[in-house]
Amino acid sequence: MPEMNLVQAVNDALRIAMREDDDVVVLGEDVGKVGGVFRVTQGLFDEFGEDRVIDTPLSEGGIIGTAIGMALYGMKPVPEIQFADFIFPAFDQIVSEAAKYRYRSGGEYTCPMVIRTPVGGGIRGGHYHSQSPESLFIHTAGLKVVCPSNPYDAKGLLTAAIKDPDPVLFFEPKRVYRAVKMDVPEGDLELPLGKAKVVREGEDVTVIAWGAMLFEALASAEEVEADGLSCEVLDLRTLWPVDIDTIASSVKKTGRVVIVHEAPKACGFGAELLSMVTEKCFVHLEAPPVRVTGFDTPFPYTLEMEYLPLQHRITPALRETVAYEP
Amino acid sequence: MQTQEQVVPIRTPESSFDDEVVTVIAKDGSTGPADPKLPVEQVVDFYEAMVRTRTIDVQLERLQRQGRIGFHIGSLGEEACILGSAAAMRPQDWIFPCYREFGALLYRGMPLQTYVDNMYGNADDPVKGRQMPDHYTGRAFRFGSVSSPIGTQMTQAVGFAWAAQKKGTDEVTSVYFGEGATSSAEFHTGMNFAGVMKAPVVFLCRNNRWAISVPSEKQTASKTFADKGVAYGVPAVRVDGNDVLATYKVVRECVERAARGEGPALVEMLTYRVGGHSTSDDPRAYRVQDEVEQWRRTDPVVRLRRHLETLGAWDDAREEELTKGTEAELKACIAAAEAKPKPALGTIFDGVFAERPWHLEEQAAELLNGPRAKDHH
Ligand SMILES: Cc1ncc(C[n+]2csc(CCOP(=O)(O)OP(=O)(O)O)c2C)c(N)n1
C-alpha cells in the first residue's frame, strides 16, 4: 500500500473519479496548470486537459454559480475554493441556490457537486487564511458537510462525496495536508458519509473532534492516561448529517463529554452537539458538557497558538470534567 | 445573413483602447508630450521612493526565507505604477489599498519602524499582531486597511468617496486592485455604483499580467481592462505603469476631474509582477523565465534613472548612498522589531467591539488564568 499525505490522497480520489466518470470536472482559481496553491490538483490538468480542469477567472460566486449550472445539467463539478475564508463571495449561491434546488424544484433539478476547500489555522495565515466556517453551512438545510482528519479518510470520503446525489462541502484541514502520512489503498476506496469513527476507546470521558483538532484531542487523551483517565475519542468525519448514534452511545457509556473545535464558540458546531447530547443523553450525564474552542474573536495572527483549542487547553478540560462533582 | 445583420445589429465590441497607452519616458530617457514637467527635485523624490521600496522588498523577501517573518507580498517591478499613482493623490486624498502597496504607505509617511513592527506582529504593531504581515492600516496617512479577500475594497472606496462628497469636502478616494480582481463581483458593483453616483473615486488597476498562476488573458475576453469602463459609463485610460511620470500625469488628471465633480475614472496601469505572487509562491511552476527577462528590460527603476541621468540629477554615488542608507535603516528597524515582545495575551480580546461584552471577559479570564499565561510576560 502506498504512503500518502492528505494532499496526495485527495488528488488520488479526484484522479480516480475523473477516470471513472467523464462528467467529473474540477474548476477554480489556479487549479489547472499549477495544480492549486496547495498542489492538491497537481497533474490533473496534464492528464485530463483544460476542458476538465478549469482555471477560472477570480470569482468564487462565478465558480460556484457555474458549478451549480453544470450540476443542474447533469455533470459532476468539484469546484475548489482556494481557502474557506474566501467562500463568502459564493455564499449566496451555496446557501440560496445549491442547498435549495432539490427542495424548491420538487426534485426536478438537483445539485450533485462537491465544494472542496482548505480550512483551519495554525499555519500563520491570520484572519483570512485560517477560519473554520463549517457551522454556517451545517446551519443551512440541504448541505452535507465533511471534514476528514487523515489521508485514508480523505480519499474514502471524497470518493463518497463525489458519488453523493446532493451538494457536499468538503473541508480539508490544511494544517494536516503534509503533516500526516499513512498507508492508503490504491484504486477504489469509498467510506460512507455520516459515520463517525471511534479512534480511541475509553471509559471516563468522550472527546468529540474532527480535522486537525483530532490530533490535539488524541494527544490530550494520551497525556491524561498517565493519571489513569481513560478517554474515548471520536472523529466525526462527516459533520452533517452527524452520526448521532455513535455519539450517543459513547456519551451514555462515559457520562462525560468534551467537544473540541477551532471555530469560535458562539453558535459553533459544538453548540449543536452539546444540545443533541443533552437531548439524547440527559439522564446519563455526570458532568456538564464542555466546549474547548476558538475564542469569539477574529482569528489572530501572532497569538494563533493561544487562540486554537490545542492540547494545552484540552487536557485541563478533560481533568476538570472527570473531576466534576455536583 | 445580410438582412439578418441589418435587422439585428449584434456587434462584437471593438476595443477603443487597444493601441492607446500613455507613455512619457522614452528608451533614451527623453520625455514625450505628456510629460507633467515636474520640478526635478520631485522626480528625484519619486526615484528615491521607488528604489527605497525595492530595497525593502528584496530585504523582506530574504527575511522571510530566513524564517524571521512569516510572509511578504511585494511589488517588484510595480514600483512606478504604485508610487506614481500614490504621488498623484493630493495630501487631502485617500488611498484604499490592495496588498502590494506598502511603498505607497511609506511614501505617505508611515514610519518604517511601524511597518516593520507590523510585519513582525509584535507588541508595537498598531494592530497588535492580529493580521498577517503586509496587512497594514494607516488612517493617519489617509490610507485604508488591507484585508485578504479580493475585491472588497472597491465598493468600500466608492462609498467612502461618496461620503466625502456628501460632506462637501475636496477629497478624492483612490482604490488599488490587481487585474484579477476585475473578475470579482465587487469590481463590477463598484464601477456601476461609482458611475451612477458620480462618486469622486479613481480605480487603479495594476495590470501586472498575473493573478497568482492565472494569466490576464484568462480573466477577461475584453481586449483591455480599460474597456470595462465603457459598460459602466466610467471614463477609462491605459497608461504605461512602468513609467512613473506617465502614471503620475494620468492619475493626477483623474483626481482633478473627480475633484471638479466630473465623477469616477478607471486607470489600467500596464506593468508586470516580476517576483512570485508572494513568498508562498514559486512562479517557475507556471511561467517561462523569458517572459520575466523581457519585462526586466522595461524595469521602471532603470527607466527613470536613465531620465534622471539625462537631467544630470543622479549618479552612482547617490544611488549607493540611497541603497546603503535604506538597508541600514531597515536593519535597525528589524533589530528593534525582533527585540520587542509579542502582543500581550489579553489583546486577543480587544477591538472585537468598542467594549468587551461579558462573554469575552469570561474567555479572556480563561486564557489569562490558563496554562500558558506564565509563558507570556
Ligand atoms: C475572494 C478571494 N479569492 C481568492 C483569494 C486568493 N488570492 C489571493 S491573491 C489572488 C490573485 C490576485 O490577483 P490580482 O487581483 O491580479 O492581483 P495581484 O496579486 O496580481 O496584484 C488570489 C486568487 C483571495 N485572497 N480572495
Round to whole Å and give the CA distance between B350 and B356: 7
Predicted confidence (pLDDT) per residue in B11-50, tens digit: 887 877 877 999 999 999 999 999 999 999 999 999 999 9
- In degrees, rounded to 5, the angle at the alpha carbon of residue A102 between the alpha carbons of residues A100 and A108 is 140
**CA-CA distance, B202 to B236, in Å (whole number)?**
10
Average of per-residue pLDDT across A280-291? 98
Q: What is the pLDDT of residues B262-280, one digit of tens each?
A: 999 999 999 999 999 999 9
Most distant pair of Cα atoms in chain A: their distance: 64
Q: Mean pLDDT throughout B220-225?
A: 95
Contacts of A118 (CB under 8 A, 6+ apart): A38, A82, A83, A84, A171, A172, A173, A174, A177
Smallest CA–CA distance, residue A246 to chain B, in Å, is 30
Q: Is B210's C-beta closer than 6 angstroms to any atom of ligand 1?
A: yes
Residue B4 has pLDDT above 80, yes or no: no
CB A273 within 8 A of CB A240: no
A129 chain-B contacts, CB cut-off 8 A: 132, 148
Give the ligand 1 atom nearest the CA of B207.
16
Is residue B232 among the annotated active site residues?
Answer: no
Looking at the CA of residue B278, tell me the nearest atom of ligand 1. 19
Q: With H, G, I as helix, E, B as strand and everything else as coil, classify residue A217.
A: helix
DSSP helix/strand/coil, A14: helix
List pLDDT tens digits, range A64-104: 999 999 999 999 999 999 999 999 999 999 999 999 999 99
Which residue is closest to B182 within chain A, CA to CA? Answer: A58
What does the alpha-carbon distance between residue B128 and residue B117 come to, in Å, rounded to a whole number?
9
A135-164: b or e for each residue (b if 16 or more CB lie within 10 Å)? bbbbebebbbbbbbbbbbbbbbbbbbbbbb
Q: How confident is the model at residue B5 (pLDDT cuts 50, 70, 90)?
A: low
Instruction: Name the residue of chain B whose CA is nearest to A88's CA.
Output: B149
Residue A27 DSSP one-character state: E
Task: Please identify, by atom number, the ligand 1 atom nearest to the C-alpha of residue A58.
Answer: 23
Q: What pLDDT was estimated at residue B1? A: 47
Residues A212 and B126: their CA atoms lie apart, in Å, by: 31
**Alpha carbon of A253 to ligand 1 centroid (Å):** 49
| 3-state SS class at A235 | strand
Peptide bond into A192 cis (omega under 30): no
**Phi, psi (5° rounding) for residue A8?**
-70, -35
The answer to whether A295 contacts B71, with C-beta atoms less than 8 Å apart, is no
B8: confidence class by pLDDT, cuts 50, 70, 90 = confident
Residue pLDDT, tens place only, A240-280: 999 999 999 999 999 999 999 999 999 999 999 999 999 99
Cα–ligand 1 centroid distance for B326 (angstroms)? 29
Estimate the share of chain A in helix, then strand, then coil, as percent rounded to the nearest 5.
40, 20, 40
B152, B187, B189, B212, best to mutate for ligand 1 pocket (most atoms within 8 Å of CB): B212
Q: Helix and strand tally (H, E) in chain A?
A: 12, 14
Q: Are B271 and B81 in contact (CB under 8 A)?
A: yes
The domain A197-323 is placed in CATH, from the list 3.90.1150.10, 3.40.50.2300, 3.40.50.920, 3.20.20.140, at 3.40.50.920
A-chain residue closest to B130, CA distance: A300
CB-closest option in A303, A312, A313 to B345: A303
Residues of B in contact with A298 (CB under 8 A): 130, 352
Phi, psi values for residue B325, rounded to 5°: -60, -45
Chain B closest-CA separation from residue A109 CA (Å): 26
Determine whether the interchain pair A312/B371 forms a contact, defined as Cβ–Cβ distance below 8 Å: yes
d(CA B299, CA B77): 6
B70: closest CA of chain A, how far (Å): 7
A58 lines ligand 1 (CB under 6 A): yes
Where do you find CATH 3.40.50.970 in chain A?
3-183
Given a cut of 80, whether residue B365 has pLDDT beyond it is: yes
Q: Could you tell me the distance, in angstroms and rounded to a whole number, from the CA of residue B179 to the centre of ligand 1? A: 9
- The band of B374, judged by pLDDT with boundaries at 50, 70 and 90, is confident
Residue A215 reports pLDDT greater than 60: yes
Residues of chain B neighbouring A266 (CB-CB closer than 8 A): 359
Give the nearest chain A residue to B285 (CA atoms).
A34
pLDDT in tens, B100-118: 999 999 999 999 999 999 9
DSSP letters, A115-176, are EEEEE--SSS--GGGS---HHHHHSSTT-EEE--SSHHHHHHHHHHHHH-SS-EEEEEETTT
Q: Secondary structure of chain B in the HEC alphabet? A: CHHHHHHCCCCCCCCCCCCCCECCECCCCCECCCCCCCCHHHHHHHHHHHHHHHHHHHHHHHHHHCCCCCCCCCCCCCHHHHHHHHHHCCCCCEEECCCCCHHHHHHCCCCHHHHHHHHHCCCCCCCCCCCCCCCCEEHHHCEEECCCCCCHHHHHHHHHHHHHHHCCCCCCEEEEEEHHHHHCHHHHHHHHHHHHHCCCEEEEEEECCEECCEEHHHCCCCCCCCCHHHHHCCCEEEEECCCHHHHHHHHHHHHHHHHCCCCCEEEEEECCCCCCCCCCCCHHHCCCHHHHHHHHCCCHHHHHHHHHHHCCCCCHHHHHHHHHHHHHHHHHHHHHHHHCCCCCHHHHHCCCCCCCCHHHHHHHHHHHCCCCHHHCC
CA distance A269 to A309: 14
Distance of CA A304 to CAs A71, A133, A164, A266, A298, Å? 38, 17, 35, 18, 10
- Residue B259: pLDDT over 70: yes
Give the Cα separation of B188 and B199 in Å (integer). 15
- Distance of residue A202 Cα from the nearest chain B Cα, in angstroms: 25
Contact of B17 with B238, CB cutoff 8 Å: yes
Q: Would you list the domain boundaries of chain B? A: 17-343, 344-377
pLDDT for the residue numbered B287: 95
The C-alpha atoms of residue A163 and residue B20 are separated, in whole angstroms, by: 52
Q: CB distance A57–B180 less than 8 Å?
A: yes
The residue count of chain A comes to: 326
CA–centroid distance, B242 to ligand 1, in Å, is 21
Using the beta-carbon criterion (under 8 Å), do B149 and A88 form an inter-chain contact?
A: yes
Tell me if B121 and A301 make a contact (CB, 8 A cut-off): yes
Does ligand 1 come within 6 angstroms of the Cβ of B178?
A: yes
Smallest CA-to-CA distance from A147 within A122, A186, A115, A124 is with A115
- Residue intervals of chain A classified under CATH 3.40.50.920 are 197-323
Ligand 1 site, residue B209, Cβ cutoff 6 A: no
Averaged pLDDT, A219-234: 97
A82 within ligand 1 shell (Cβ under 6 A): yes
Beta-carbon separation of B181 and A30 below 8 A: no
Contact of A266 with B338, CB cutoff 8 Å = no
Q: Which helix (H) or strand (E) holds A213?
A: helix A213-225
Query: Which cell numbers hold the place of B148?
Result: 485578504
* Cα–Cα distance, B180 to B205 (Å, whole number): 9
User: How many beta-carbon contacts under 8 Å exist across A and B?
Assistant: 125
Beta carbons of B149 and B184 less than 8 angstroms apart = no
Tell me the mean pLDDT in the region A191-217: 98
Complex ipTM, two decimals? 0.95
Mean pLDDT of B166-175: 98
The shortest C-alpha distance from A31 to chain B (Å) reads 9
Residue nearest to atom 11 of ligand 1 (CA): B211
Indicate which atom in ligand 1 lies nearest the CA of residue B206. 21
Q: Which chain A residue is nearest to residue B278, measuring alpha carbons?
A: A37
B280 lines ligand 1 (CB under 6 A): no
Strand partners of residue B237: B267
Mutate to test the interface with A, among B179, B210, B348 (most CBs of A within 10 A): B348
Q: For ligand 1, say whether the CB of B206 is within 6 Å of any of its atoms.
A: yes
Task: Measure CB to CB from residue A303 to each of B132, B148, B348 and give the nearest one.
Answer: B348
Neighbours of A251 (CB within 10 A): 25
Residues in CB range of B39: below 8 A, 6 or more apart? none
CA A302 to ligand 1 center in whole angstroms: 23
Q: Does residue B171's CB lie within 6 angstroms of at least one atom of ligand 1?
A: no
Res. B123: pLDDT tops 60: yes
Question: What residue owns the CA closest to ligand 1's atom 20?
Answer: B211
Confidence of residue A184 (pLDDT cuts 50, 70, 90): very high
The pLDDT of residue A237 is 98
Q: Is the CB of A85 under 6 A from ligand 1?
A: no
Measure B135 CA to nearest chain A CA, in Å: 9
Per-residue pLDDT reduced to its tens digit, A23-69: 999 999 999 999 999 999 999 999 999 999 999 999 999 999 999 99
**CATH number belonging to domain A3-183:** 3.40.50.970
Q: Residue B373's pLDDT band (boundaries 50, 70, 90)?
A: confident
Please give the span between the terminal C-alpha atoms of chain B, in angstroms, as a whole number. Answer: 81
Spatial contact of A6 and A180, defined as CB atoms under 8 Å apart: yes
CATH architecture of the domain with range B17-343: 3-Layer(aba) Sandwich (3.40)
From A129, which residue of chain B is nearest by alpha-carbon distance?
A: B148
Task: Indicate the SS3 state at residue A207.
Answer: strand
